[in-house]
Structure 1
């Protein structure tokens, strides 16, 4: 019961400091909004290309080629490509040079001749890729006619089908965070790490308020006082993190995946790690230097842990250094379980948080036992 009373007292004491409590919730939300809005383009991997106009001269006499090309034109029209037949007496290459069309193609029984525009390289390459795919598919069908005519018909049919023009296979999944999703995660973990700053003041605050003597004279053991403070600080900081999590989910529609249990477990264990770290540092350093050490540590850990920009833009050496940041473990575990359903990385983050929390708590307990008071 003594532990519970001390934990409740610590929670009430934290709630009295309204400015700090509001800051802990408003600061990550504001950064989430600013960075998520300002860096939208940094998380966009695609671009919209418009105005693809293909001038076509079709002199093919093969009925299969003519039918396949007709289906191909219908398919690319659905993708925004306008294929226009060339007019009599018109020079297609000059039309491209004069920037009237994106590219010019001549379709004949002997193959396809393609002329792209040097002024619109990207657009020309897109059209060239489409035509190359069509030519390869048709050549495959022509070769299959000799052995299996039915298979050739299926190949020719798919050559003109919408969505079958270009098939892309990638090792990266389509689902990935946008700017708001990314900063919702990293700002939430960053504010969880801020718990180490208030935790470094848990014992020092009693000394500064001159209440250490009364605590030592009370019929409560040092262990109960210590555990009560750890539980109270961990609870109030976890509540701040959960509020930020819910706000980002409901207000910003941030994607936190479907595994909310493991997500919250990572966040809560990170808070426990931060509280343990703050307590350990308060025992290892002198009174006035512990807070400064924690302040510097939080800023460095946030910077190299990916709180302000994605780790993908870092060099190899910086990525190695980032492994020293607790935010790196938490962010990686959260991103992997949210977007890849990788439970291994998530449990790895939980394990690291608990292991280091236990280590710093052990340091705090050993240091506390060497003192007469807390």
Structure 2
């Protein structure tokens, strides 16, 4: 008996369980169809869309308003190309801005403080503070435009560092001039200019990542089943090492996860017209990485849990939380949550798939894949350490 025999036996055993087949192969397609159909009007149909005008509330302190930075900001928002995308409203305080956001009077708020002005005058990096609204698309537009403004501020601050404080007046004048000439500011969909993802594409990518992680739960059930039924002791009595038994089970569940990915990708393309992009081998590689993450996460949870029930509950909670904060159910605009999501498998898997769907550059696609690989490497290292300490044996 070798790893291959155990792998095939494990795969056959799992495929005989009707509930597993339904949960891993039928349920993802059903959810993709429901979510893609129900939210197609809200998310789009895959054609480029131009965002609405962003109603921006600007909060400035008295010192900031009369400073070169405040004057440059006023010139920036009054520039013709910027004014097409922004409708500015001056607000006296941060509390008033928050209330206006809650009531829907504005979509985005920008705060210019005295500290920001002092940082720029000292030649340091200056950053505007902003408060995000309810519409994630309008938040992106606002962040993009005002980041362009601060980039120019910081470029002038770097000049001051090199040329000395006597260049401050020239830098301030240049900021005004640059801000007024923002004719090159445009907002388009990511990737190709004539392409954006549809609701079916978005949820196909999100559900694929989530349900591939659910394959890790079959690994948990498989590992605990051998212990609970006391068949692991019989396997260990055979002339085969514990490592071979463990590797065979992981290999069988990995094949199951990869079969699941192939079926979901092909069926969504045939049934729902999902365009997965022009990089099939990169899709395969991303699926391999998600499979690795699913198996290692399942191993970690199985080895730190005392029973199959607790392990299954923990694994399910982890998957749901990772899917939620990564925007798998609905895109989340909260910046803090977005930062946390960058530590999850789902975030980088979803970004990898979406970047391929949008026809993004190969550098952007591979960056997302490298980050996904880094998360998988951390999980694999943790699983290896736990396996060496705990091991897979009957106790």
Q: Same fold (TM over 0.5)?
A: yes
Gaps of 5+ in 2: 51-183
1:307 partner SS: coil
Normalising by structure 1, what TM-score? 0.63
Q: Distance in 2 between matches of 1:372 and 1:211?
A: 11
Q: Distance in 1 between matches of 2:218 and 2:385?
A: 18
Q: Which residue is 1:365 aligned to?
A: 387
1:35 is displaced (CA, Å) by 0.9
Q: Which residue is 1:184 aligned to?
A: 204
Q: Deviations over 1:148-204 (max 9, x none)?
A: xxxxxxxxxxxxxxxxxxx99435443210111111111111111111211222221
Q: How does 1:1-374 map to 2 (within 5 A)?
A: 2-44=2-44, 46=49, 169-173=186-190, 174=193, 175-287=195-307, 288-311=309-332, 314-339=333-358, 340-341=360-361, 342-369=364-391, 373=394
1:349 is displaced (CA, Å) by 4.1
The 3 A distance-change label for structure 1 pair 224 and 368 is farther
The 3 A distance-change label for structure 1 pair 366 and 264 is same
Q: Distance in 2 between matches of 1:329 and 1:255?
A: 19
Q: Distance in 2 between matches of 1:297 and 1:334?
A: 21
Gaps of 5+ in 1: 48-166
Q: Distance in 2 between matches of 1:358 and 1:193?
A: 14
Q: Distance in 2 between matches of 1:264 and 1:350?
A: 13
1:240 is displaced (CA, Å) by 1.1
Q: Distance in 2 between matches of 1:327 and 1:372?
A: 31
Q: Distance in 2 between matches of 1:367 and 1:202?
A: 20
Contact 2:348 2:369 in 1 (8 A): no
How many aligned residue pairs are there? 254
2:272 partner SS: coil
Normalising by structure 2, what TM-score? 0.60
The 3 A distance-change label for structure 1 pair 346 and 318 is closer
The 3 A distance-change label for structure 1 pair 249 and 168 is farther
Report the RMSD for the aligned CA atoms in angstroms: 2.4
